[in-house]
């Protein structure tokens, strides 16, 4: 995936969406290593998962590179997902579950893999308690309530992703999603991001169009 060529006067070139299918029959470590170069290109990387399980837990050093990619990673999950595939999916920036999808948890007493623990901690204490102490898989609606997913979609629903998208806006949103800094550091990041977005000229065009009663003319 390569970003489109910048146009004259365009405040921040546009990027697109790249879609890849996770192949459950392949070695998870090898597959994730192959995905990392694509994830390090700017844009939106959608990784589709069907029902799968099996395979050894992935090293956190490899998953950490996945969580810090330049692209915004999006998991689209159908069926019940377990083990290494689940780690990769839940470590994405955004997780969308198709109706009927389920998150398969390890049995109580088993040591949970690092990627699953990281995702549970990111989602919050209710998700962590459910993931470590609960029994049975987590259905899609419960995963949404636990903040493990952004939405539950019907089979034919499109993913709610912008296309094309401004690289500046995408980078700002990515950094805001990934920050977990409390209080002052997070507020400084939010202010810097707000100023960066206004520097593109897009928010001014939106406000101007509203005041003039017309459709905005966004570029990029």
Q: Which of 57-71, 75-89, 197-211 shows the lowest mean pLDDT across its residues?
A: 197-211
Look at residue 127 in the predicted model and tell me its pLDDT.
93
Look at residue 144 in the predicted model and tell me its pLDDT.
95
- What is the CATH code of the structural domain delimited by 14-153? 3.90.226.10
Look at residue 157 in the predicted model and tell me its pLDDT.
93
Alpha helix ranges (H) inside the chain:
28-39, 60-67, 83-90, 114-123, 125-133, 140-145, 167-178, 183-199, 202-212
pTM of the model: 0.74
d(CA 50, CA 81): 7
d(CA 156, CA 60): 34
In this predicted structure, the answer to whether residue 11 has a pLDDT above a threshold of 60 is no
Domain ranges in the chain? Answer: 14-153, 179-212
pLDDT in tens, 156-178: 899 988 777 777 777 777 777 77
Look at residue 98 in the predicted model and tell me its pLDDT.
95
> Residue range 47-60: average pLDDT?
85
In this predicted structure, the answer to whether residue 200 has a pLDDT above a threshold of 80 is no
220 exposure class (CB count in 10 Å sphere: 0-12, 13-18, 19+): buried
């Amino acid at each position: 995936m390569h970003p489109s060529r910048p146009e004259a006067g365009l405040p921040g070139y546009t990027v697109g969406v790249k879609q890849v299918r996770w192949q459950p029959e392949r070695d998870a470590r090898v597959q994730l290593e192959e995905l990392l170069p694509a994830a390090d290109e700017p844009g939106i990387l959608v990784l589709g998962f069907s029902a799968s399980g099996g395979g050894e837990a992935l090293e956190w050093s490899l998953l950490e590179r996945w969580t810090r990619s330049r692209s915004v990673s999006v998991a689209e999950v159908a069926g019940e997902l377990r083990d290494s595939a689940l780690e990769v999916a839940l470590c994405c920036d955004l997780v969308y579950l198709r109706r009927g999808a389920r998150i398969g948890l390890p049995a109580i007493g088993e040591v949970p893999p690092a990627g699953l623990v990281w995702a549970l901690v990111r989602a919050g204490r209710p998700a962590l308690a459910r993931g470590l102490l609960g029994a049975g898989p987590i259905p899609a609606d419960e995963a949404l309530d636990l903040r493990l997913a952004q939405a539950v979609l019907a089979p034919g629903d499109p993913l709610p992703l912008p296309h094309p998208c401004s690289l500046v806006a995408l980078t700002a949103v990515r950094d805001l999603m990934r920050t977990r800094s409390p209080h002052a550091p997070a507020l400084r990041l939010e202010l810097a991001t707000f100023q960066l977005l206004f520097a593109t000229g897009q928010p001014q065009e939106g406000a101007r169009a509203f005041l003039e009663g017309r459709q905005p003319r966004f570029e990029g």
